[in-house]
Structure 1
């Protein structure tokens, strides 16, 4: 087979390498072209060198091109994969820093909450530019695979306004299933069957079967509470399981910022999180992790390049959806996964226009969703609260409507639990002004926002958060990795 895959944001080096090697695990895909594009020439050349080394080491005819001219990369592409982070770590730091001044403590801030909503405002205009290029220069009916957060908002904009065949992809379901299989004592992940449905980062395991035997709430709670590691790392997630009756796909830290109950007071935050790793609830944890990862990669790049000389091992193909979807579409080997698409009746008790994440099957005819799923009422209520925020956020980003943007932030569950309307109005003004370079649709609103900030009497505080850690140096990271290696 010979076709072209374009990867936008290919400078996300580690993730691009994973997608690349996964796709080349499909024997029919050796003779395809990967067109890499990114706004960073530096990152682009680093990842191209790594992928070229993989191709050379494995004796493949695969072609790899790289260009900062996105439209050129998209020309003739059958598949377009996006893993962009608009504004990079500079804008992301403001997503965490500014809300903290108003008492809003986020672990990740990339889905909803104040940070996720502003992240969506930066992404959506760029997503629409991608879609325009796809419609005009990619292969007819090209498929857009979005990996970038905020997943639901990006996918919503691409489908409703970009008018491109789009699917959103995430790995939260797979990771949650791995945890469940482990606590239940499964010998392999294949022993566990499940139906997981909801919206991205708020997906729920509503039916679990271990070797065909249905697993109920009480058995699952007991299994998690008996686990020596997860009982400490996933305290909030286990509490939600006890109250809702079903387990959430999302990590302790992620889930904590989508709900109004666990992060609204500093003493409550420390009660529910675990500091053994960023993903369990640390303030600004993903920002710290991303910063350390970038610094580590820049310093240790020669080692990454050397590691690329190893043969591709198909047995180590990851559970990221992209390669499996492409394989199913091109070879008709049916693949079952969980996909982010427009609801359109798939989940009976969520809005029809929402972007849901739910089971589907892929073959030559496309992605075929399993319809008629009904969520437990508490799960649906939690999802709907986020969907309402997502809808307003998308519409605000399209229109450049700062008043609607403020209403979207006001209706966010955690923001509403922490901040007053006056604080929200000022916070949004401050974030829009700080991120003006990536928010062209709000240019007309900036003078008034600056004027309001100069006269506002809303007080803020200098707060690092309830559980903040400093970015570790390269030397500290080396020492930690050496200690872990010695311990193992």
Structure 2
């Protein structure tokens, strides 16, 4: 087979390498072309060196090109994969820093909440540019695989306004299933059979079987509470499991941002999170992790390049959906996964226009979703709160309506539990002004926002958050990795 895959945001080096090696685990894909594109020439050349080394070491005919010209990369592409972060770590830092001034403590801030909504405002105009290029220069009928957050908003915009065949992809379901398999004592996650349905980052294991035996709430609660690690790291998820009756796919830190109950007071935050790793609820945890990862890669690039000389091992193919979807579409070998698409009745008690994450099967005829799923009422209510915020956020991003943007942020569950309307109005003004260079749709609104900020009487505070950690130096990271290696 010979076709072209374009990867936008290919400078996300580690993830691009994973996608690349996964796809080349499919024997039929040896002759394809990968076209890498990114705004950073520096990052682009680093990832190209790594991928070229993989191709050479494995004696493959695979072609790898790299360009900062996006349209050139997309020309003739059958598949386009996006893993972009518009505004980079600079804008992301504002997504965490500014809401903290108003008492809003986020762990990740990339899905909803104040940070996720502004992230969507930056991404959506760019997503629509991608879609325009796909329509104009990619192979007719090209499929757009979106890995970028905020997943639901980006996918919503691409389908509704970009008019491109789009699927959103995430790995939260797979990670949740791995946890469940471990606590239940399964030898492999393949012993589980499950239906997981909801919206991205709020997907629920609504039906769960181990080797054909149905697993109920009480057994699952007992298994998690008995686990020596997860009982501490996933306290909030376990509490939600007890109250809702089903387990959520999303990490302890992520889930805490989508619910109005666990992260609204500093003493509550520290009660429900775990500081053993950022993903369990640390204030700005993913920002710290991302910063350290970038610094580590920059410093240790020769080590990453040397590791690329190892042969590709199909047995180590990851459970990221992309390679499996491409394999199913191109070869007809059926793949079952969980995909983000417009609902259109797939989940009976969520709106038709929402982007849902639910089971589906892929073959040469496309992605075919399992329809007629009804999720528990409490799960639907929680999802609905986010869907309403997502819908307003998408419409605000398309229209450049700053008043609608403020209403979207006001209706966010965590923001509403912490901040007053006056605080929200000022916070959004401050965020839009700080990120104006990435928000072209709000250009006309920025001058008035600056005037309001100059006259504002709303008080703020400089607050690091309830559980903030400093970014570690390269030497500290080296020492920690060495200690872990010695312990093993």
Q: Which range, TM-score by smaller chain?
A: over 0.9
TM-superposition CA deviations, 1:431-466 (whole Å, max 9, x none): 000000100000000010000000000000010000
- Counterpart CA distance in 2 for 1:139 and 1:188 is 39
What is the Cα deviation at residue 99 of structure 1?
0.0
2: CA distance, partners of 1:239 / 1:433: 39
**1 CA distance for matches of 2:272 and 2:474?**
30
Deviation at 1:477, TM superposition (A): 0.1
Task: Tell me what 2:121 maps to.
Answer: 121
* Partners of 1:317 and 1:9 in 2: CA distance: 21
Distance 2:130 2:420 in 1: 37
Q: Structure 2 CA distance, aligned partners of 1:392 and 1:448?
A: 21
The RMSD of aligned alpha carbons is 0.2
Deviation at 1:472, TM superposition (A): 0.1
| Deviation (angstroms), 1:324 | 0.1
Displacement, 1:78?
0.1
Distance 2:308 2:447 in 1: 50
Q: CA deviation at 1:190?
A: 0.7
Deviation at 1:269, TM superposition (A): 0.2
Gaps of 5+ in 1: none
Corresponding residue number in structure 1 for 2:302: 302
In 2, Cα distance between equivalents of 1:442 and 1:172: 33
- Deviation at 1:120? 0.1
Q: Who is 1:97 aligned against?
A: 97
Give per-residue Cα distances to partners, 1:42-93, cap 9 Å, x unaligned.
Answer: 0000000000000000000000000000000000000000000000000000
Does the alignment pair 1:485 with 2:463?
A: no
1:194 positional shift: 0.2
Question: Structure 1 residue 481: deviation in Å?
Answer: 0.1
Superimposed CA distance per residue, residues 396-438 of structure 1 (whole angstroms, 9 cap, x where no aligned partner) = 0000000000000000000000000000000000000000010
Deviation at 1:312, TM superposition (A): 0.1
Q: Which residue of 1 aligns with 2:234?
A: 234
Superposition pairs of residues 343-362 of structure 1, within 5 angstroms = 343-362=343-362
Scaled by the length of structure 2, the TM-score of the pair is 1.00
3-state DSSP of counterpart to 1:36 = strand
Whole-Å separation in 2 of the counterparts to 1:446 and 1:217: 50
Question: Residue 64 of structure 2 aligns to a residue in which SS?
Answer: strand
Consecutive aligned runs of 4 or more in structure 1 exceeding 6 Å deviation: none
Summarize deviations over 1:4-50 as a string: whole Å, max 9, x none: 00000000000000000000000000000000000000000000000
Q: What SS class does the counterpart of residue 347 from structure 1 fall into? A: coil
1:95 is displaced (CA, Å) by: 0.1
Q: Distance in 2 between matches of 1:189 and 1:94?
A: 38
2:441 match: secondary structure:
helix
SS in 2 for 1:248: coil
Residue by residue over 1:337-357, the C-alpha shift from the partner in whole angstroms, topping out at 9 and shown as x without a partner, is 000000000000000000000
Cα distance in 2 for partners of 1:160, 1:486 equals 52
Structure 2: distance between partners of 1:229 and 1:88: 33
Take 1:292 and 1:208, find their aligned partners in 2: how far apart are those partners?
Answer: 37
Task: Name 1:256's counterpart in structure 2.
Answer: 256
**In structure 1, distance between residues paired with 2:251 and 2:227:** 16
* Structure 2 alignment gaps of length 5 or more: none
How far residue 94 of structure 1 moved from its aligned partner, in angstroms, is 0.1
Offset from partner CA, 1:169-224 (integer Å, 9 cap, x none) = 00000000000000000011110000000000000000000000000000000000
Tell me, in whole angstroms, the C-alpha distance in 2 between the residues paired with 1:446 and 1:188.
Answer: 54
Instruction: Count residues in correspondence.
Output: 488
- Summarize deviations over 1:348-373 as a string: whole Å, max 9, x none: 00000000000000000000000000
Please state how far the C-alpha of 1:240 moved relative to its aligned partner: 0.1
Offset from partner CA, 1:270-292 (integer Å, 9 cap, x none): 00000000000000000000000
TM-score by length of 1: 1.00
Q: How far did residue 123 of structure 1 move? A: 0.0
Looking at structure 2, the residues matched to 42 and 166 of structure 1 have their Cα atoms a distance apart, in angstroms, of: 29
Deviation at 1:314, TM superposition (A): 0.2
Aligned pair 1:389/2:389, yes or no? Answer: yes
| Rounded Cα–Cα distance in structure 1 between residues aligned with 2:109 and 2:462 | 19
- Aligned partners of 1:259 and 1:426: how far apart in 2? 23
Distance 1:50 1:321 in 2: 22
In 1, distance between residues paired with 2:316 and 2:391? 38
Quick one: distance in 1 between partners of 2:289 and 2:234?
19
Q: Secondary structure at the match of 2:300?
A: helix
Q: Residue 102 of structure 1: CA displacement?
A: 0.0
Separation in 2, partners of 1:58, 1:99: 48
Q: Deviations over 1:288-317 (max 9, x none)?
A: 000000000000000000000000000000
- Report the secondary structure of 1:205's partner residue: strand
- Aligned to 1:237, the other structure's residue is in SS state helix
Which runs of structure 2 are paired with 1:35-50 in the superposition (5 Å)? 35-50=35-50
